[in-house]
Chains A and B, each alone.
Chain A
Amino acid sequence: MRITAKLYGTLSQQFPEYRHSEGIEVEIPDGATVNDLLALLEISESKGAVVAMEGRILKGDDTIRHGVPVQIFNAIHGG
């Protein structure tokens, strides 16, 4: 299935063609998890990336649902 991900913080830097208004389209297998998605995008663990969907922060083994856009951020401790 194809999903759309929007990238925030430093995460778009590794995708020179990335346009925020469109996000990035990714083909993932049905039942793919957050960890699978991050691996497919080659976003390394050291980036401290976190994935949100429908207003919820997901865990690494949570499943990505078909047709639901996701947002991917860097973890941050406050301001």
Chain B
Amino acid sequence: MKFIKVNMNKKTIGVEDVPEKYKGLGGRGLTSIMINQEVPPTCDPLGPDNKLIFAPGLLSGTPLPNTSRISIGAKSPLTGTIKESNSGGTVSAALGRLGITAIIIEGQAPEGDLSILVIDKAGNASLIPAQDYKGMRTYQFVEKMLEIYGKKTSVLSIGPAGESRLTAASIQSSDMDGHPCHAAARGGLGAVMGAKGLKALVVDQGGKSADAIADPKAFKEAGKIFTKAVKEHPEPGQLMPTLGTAALVAPLNSMGAFPCYNARKGVMDGWEQISGEAMAELIKERGGKTTHMGCAQCIIHCSNEFVDKEGNYVTGSLEYETIWAMGGMAAIADLDTIARLDFLCDDIGVDTMSTGVAVAVAMDAGYKEFGDGAGAIEMVKEIGTGTEFGKILGNGPVAVGKYFNHSRVPAVKGQAIAGYDPRAMRGNGVTFATSPMGADHTAGNLIGLCLQGKLDPMQAEGVVEISRDLQIAMAAFDCTGQCFMATVAAFDPEPGEAFRKVLSAKLGTELGPDDFPGAMGIRVLKAEREFNRKAGFTNQDDRLPKFFYEEPLPPHNTVFVISDEELDSVFDF
């Protein structure tokens, strides 16, 4: 259990034991609680007072499968709120195996200075000059890092967007094959990393100094039960390795809740051409991979490798939210174009969701026609080449809306919504409005309940309570490093109990249902809300854009109807 503290002004690296007040925390819990305590809430997110924190989950580096998600936290330059963005890949497990609880990047390098933080298999950290890699895109950069440090190396890196401090910039995470196709994409944390003068974090995967598991026998027994439940669950066990999250395209369109044409409609013309089923068929025909192990210790394999007509790699881990943002919002009914856009975003280092929605806002304002795939590619390329328009696009949909004086911007607290329209799925509207992160589907997604027939997507009554409970649960699970696909199995009582026992055995503390997810999730959300309040956010910021309340969404022609008072009661604890 140790912190690695890096001061970018002085180029110094300190290693210290985890202070008492942060013990037992990991992932989002650690980043959010530390930011709330140590980062001045009104600071410039791109200035020296902000801190960028990399924290593996509490279970990362243990033998439990599907636990390689890393939380990255800072004050967000996109939203102005506290931010935790997490990513899969290999780095979280690598840091966990080194017994590193967090890496904290402080201060700011002199203007123009760029470094790489390298951690070897003994856990020693060093800052290496990165001037030679300035402006380099992520795919080429990771290739170079693997040449130098070996194939068993994990890389978190930024592309030109992050170096230029664009506020939709991502931090890309390398997968099992060394492709930087996973991302801590939301909230512009790539810009914070760029502002610090840090190009990348490079970690050897061969660490053998993981923190001890307090009760290894109990851990093994409960872990076995939970892993079996993950394998046998129809979602992580069967659906995810078949289609991945792209399986959502069909139900969302069939429900009329797929925001498309910049959220003017709930069903996209030609959506079957970009469905998960269509993608799997196309990949199979071309000899790509419909299922693929993207993250360390993954037994689900929801990832994929999209290839072109000649069978050449185009992009990896093409997921629902990207297909929705690029395909739905910009109305591009062509998987080859969507895959190309996904690759460009990963390579330049921008959030595919923010970028897709930003493109859609520009199209809605008349800059290009909806469905203009070639136009969308040219627009996204401009982010990489750094044109004036590219910079605006790379700052996300709100910046684009301002540029065109266009008010139809589907974002909350500056962050684009995800692929669930709040007018046809009202519960997700509650989460989008109230999450301390800005609009965020991972903060508490009600789609599972809707598709299980437990909740009418149009239902307004009771969804505040459901969103609250899910936001608490997700805040807690985000502390563990476990992938959401596996967490789905923990929603059932017996595996849920087994998971709690795994966590108890790791920490050496008996956790009851009130402790996890309950108390842990509430503690995290309270810290995040407190930071946001001190940064100047009020209940008035917990609102959806006006058009969701006024403009009916076809085909159901409904609007968002949850009152302000109800939204204000979400965090009534």
Contacts and interface: CB of A to CB of B under 8 A. Distances in A.
B275 A78 contact: no
Interface in A27-79: 46-48, 50, 52, 55-60, 71, 73-79
A20 B277 CA distance: 9
Given A8-B275, A73-B451, A56 B255 contact: yes
A8 B251 contact: yes
A57 B451 contact: yes
Contact of A71 (B250, B319, B452): B250
Contacts of B448: 75-78
A73 B234 contact: no
A57 B275 contact: no
B255 A48 contact: no
Q: Is the interface of A mostly helix, strand, loop or mixed?
A: loop
Contacts of B42: none
B256 A50 contact: no
Contacts of B266: 55
19 contacts: A8-B251, A8-B275, A9-B239, A10-B234, A10-B243, A48-B234, A55-B254, A57-B255, A57-B456, A73-B254, A74-B235, A75-B234, A75-B235, A76-B235, A77-B235, A77-B484, A78-B484, A79-B245, A79-B320
Nearest to A59: B453
Contacts of B491: 77
Contacts of B419: 79
A77 B254 CA distance: 16
A64 to B, nearest CB: 15
Interface size bracket, B side: 35 or more
Contacts of B445: 77-78
Main secondary structure of the interface of B (DSSP, over half): helix
B234 A77 contact: no
A48 B453 contact: no
Interface string B74-118: 000000000000000000000000000000000000000000000
A48 B319 contact: no
A52 B254 contact: yes
Nearest to A56: B255
B234 A74 contact: yes
A72 B165 CA distance: 45
Interface of A: 8-10, 13, 20, 46-48, 50, 52, 55-60, 71, 73-79
Given A50-B251, A78-B484, A55 B256 contact: yes
B420 to A, nearest CB: 9
Interface string B447-476: 110111100110000000000000000000
Contact of B247 (A13, A52, A76): A76
Contact of B277 (A8, A59, A77): A8
Contacts of B456: 57
B150 interface: no
Contact of A10 (B242, B320, B452): B242
Contacts of A74: 234-235, 238-239, 247
Given A47-B234, A78-B484, 9 more contacts: A8-B276, A9-B243, A13-B242, A48-B452, A50-B453, A55-B556, A57-B451, A77-B448, A79-B441
B248 A79 contact: yes
B267 interface: yes
Contacts of A55: 254-256, 266-267, 555-556
A52 B270 CA distance: 18
Nearest to A55: B256
B481 to A, nearest CB: 18
A9 B248 CA distance: 9
Nearest to A12: B277
Residue among A56, A59, A60 with the highest chain B CB neighbour number at 10 A:
A56
Interface string B261-297: 0000011000010011100000000000000000000
Nearest to A53: B254
B255 A76 contact: no
B488 interface: yes
B321 A79 contact: yes
B126 interface: no
Nearest to A21: B272
Nearest to A34: B453
B7 interface: no
Contacts of A46: 234
Given A9-B242, A57-B255, A78 B250 contact: no
Contacts of B209: none
A57 B220 CA distance: 40
Contacts of A75: 234-235, 448, 451-452
Interface string B224-247: 000000000011001100111111
Contacts of A10: 234, 238-239, 242-243
B255 A52 contact: yes
Nearest to B420: A78
Nearest to A52: B254
B442 interface: yes
Contact of A8 (B247, B267, B321, B441): B247
Interface string B309-324: 0000000000111000
A16 to B, nearest CB: 15
Contacts of A8: 247, 250-251, 275-277
Nearest to B281: A20
A30 B456 CA distance: 25
A10 B452 CA distance: 16
B155 to A, nearest CB: 24
Contact of A52 (B234, B251, B447, B484): B251
Top 8 nearest A-B pairs by Cβ distance? A79-B245, A77-B448, A79-B320, A78-B445, A55-B256, A75-B451, A52-B254, A8-B250
